[in-house]
Amino acid sequence: MKILFLGDIVGRGGRAAVQALLPDLMDEYDCGFCIANGENSAGGSGLTSRCVREILDAGVQAITTGDHVWDQREFVPEMPNFPEVLRPGNLCAGQPGRGHAVFDAGNGAKVGVACLLGRTFMGTPSDCPFVAADRIVEELRAETPFIVIDFHAEATSEKIAMGRYLDGRVSAVLGTHTHVPTADQQLFPGGTAFQCDVGMVGSRESILGRDIRPVLQRFTTGMPARFTVNNRAIRLHGVVVSIGDDGRARGIQRVIRDMPS
- Give me the active site residues, please: 68
Cross-strand partners of 249 = 243
Cross-strand partners of 186 = 194
Interaxial angle between packed helices 49-57 and 11-28, expressed in degrees from 0 to 180 and rounded to the nearest 10: 20
DSSP 175-243: EESS-S--S--EE-TTS-EEES---EEEESSSBTTB-HHHHHHHHHH------PBP-SSEEEEEEEEEE
Nearest alpha carbon to residue 15 among 39, 41, 40 = 41
Scanning the chain, the segments in alpha helix (DSSP H) are 11-28, 49-57, 129-141, 156-166, 212-221
d(CA 35, CA 241): 11
CB distance 179 to 208 below 8 Å: yes
Nearest alpha carbon to residue 83 among 99, 95, 67 = 99
Q: Please state whether beta strands 109-117 and 100-106 pair in parallel, antiparallel, or not at all (unpaired).
A: antiparallel
d(CA 180, CA 191): 25
d(CA 105, CA 54): 20
Q: Reduced to 3 states, what is the DSSP secondary structure of residue 259?
A: coil
